[in-house]
Amino acid sequence: MTSPAPATAFLVIGAGELGTAMIDSLTAHIAGNELSDTVSVLLRPSTGEPTAQKARQLEELRAAGVAVVHAEVAAASTTELAEILGQYDTVISCLGFAAGAGTQRKLTEAALAARVPRYLPWQFGADYDLVGRGSPQNLFDEQLDVRDLLRAQHDTRWIIVSTGMFTSFLFEPAFGVVDDATNTVHALGSWDNAVTLTTPEDIGRLTTDVLYAQPPFVDDVVYLAGDTITYRQLADIVDDTRNTRVRRVEWTVEHLHAELADDPTDTMKKYRAVFAEGIGVAWPLEQSFNHANGIATTTAGQWAREQLRSNLAS
C-alpha cells in the first residue's frame, strides 16, 4: 500500500488578472482531485476601509479556502520577504512589471534565500533569453537577471513559463496595434512578424497542469501558446470579426525606434519597438506544452469574437 503524497502548500503572489486565474485553476484542480494541497495568496496590506470590489475579492478568496497573507513587496526587505516565502513549498509570482523596477529580482533573491523548494518567477511573457540584454524594453534586462540567479544555484527548483503576450493586450487601445478610432491595424515591424498570445485563464489552467505534471518539470523553460499569428492574420481576424475592411499600416522597426528615441520613457513605445524586432516574442504552436498534450486553448479569433459579442451586449 503506497502512502499518499505529502500536501503541497502553494503561495501565489498577487491577485490581479493573472493571479486570480492562477488561484482559480489551482483551487479547482485541488478540489476536483480531492487533494490536501493548500493555496495562499500574498496581497498588499489594506489601507483604510476596503472598497466594495476589494471586499468582494476577499470574500471570494475565503469562500474558496484561500488564505490571505499581507506584505508590501515594494517596501519589504529581501529578508522580510524570505521569511514569508519560506513557509511554502511552491511560490508562483504573478506580480508583473507594474510593481516597479527591481521587484522581480528582489522576489527571486528572497525565494532563493528562503530555499523555497520550487519557484515560478514572473516570466509569463517573451523568451527573454532570445530577446537578450539591451532591448528597447529595459525592464526585460531584469528578467535575464532573474534567470541568471536561478541558473546559478541548485537549492531551489524552478520553472519558467513563457506565454507570449496576453491576448487582450494585443487589442488594447493604448498599445495602438488595433486602433478602433481610425479602423486601423498596425503591423509591428512587418506584416509577416508573428506574436504568441495566451489568455490569463489559459495561462492559469496550463500552469497548473505544468505544476502537477509527472514526471515533474525541474529547472526548465516551458512554452505555452494560446495562438501564434502574424499581423497580417490579425488584420484578417479584425476584418472577419467586424465584417469590415480595416486600414493596414506597417510601422517599421526604424519608425518605432525613432518614436521611442523622441519619447524614451513611454512604456507602450518600448513594447512596440521590442515586438517589432520580432525576436523571442513568438514560437510555433507545435513547440508548446498545450499542443504536445492536446489541450485546447483560446485562439485570437475566438477571443476577438467573444469580446465583440460582449461589447455589443453591454
Is pLDDT of 314 > 60? no
Tell me if the pTM is above 0.85.
yes
The 10s digit of each residue's pLDDT in 105-118 is 999 999 999 999 99
Phi, psi dihedral angles at 231 (to 5 degrees): -70, -25
- CA distances (Å), origin 281, targets 13, 270, 300: 25, 14, 15
H or E element: which one contains 145?
helix 139-151
Q: What is the pLDDT of residue 46?
A: 76
Residues 197, 133: Cα–Cα separation, whole Å: 22
Q: What is the mean pLDDT of residues 203-208?
A: 98
Residues 307, 41: Cα–Cα separation, whole Å: 29
Residues 291, 19: Cα–Cα separation, whole Å: 23
Set of cell numbers at residue 187: 503591423
Residues 169, 173: Cα–Cα separation, whole Å: 8
Contact 95, 73 (CB under 8 A): yes
Q: If pLDDT is split at 50, 70 and 90, which confidence band does 310 have?
A: low
Q: What is the pLDDT of residue 99?
A: 82
DSSP state of 50: P
The 10s digit of each residue's pLDDT in 40-85 is 999 988 766 778 888 888 899 999 999 999 999 999 999 999 999 9
Is pLDDT of 312 > 50? no
- Please state, rounded to an integer, the average pLDDT across all residues of the chain: 94
Is pLDDT of 5 > 90? no
Q: Which residues contact 189 (CB under 8 A, 6 or more apart)?
A: 250, 251, 252, 253, 256, 275, 276, 277, 278
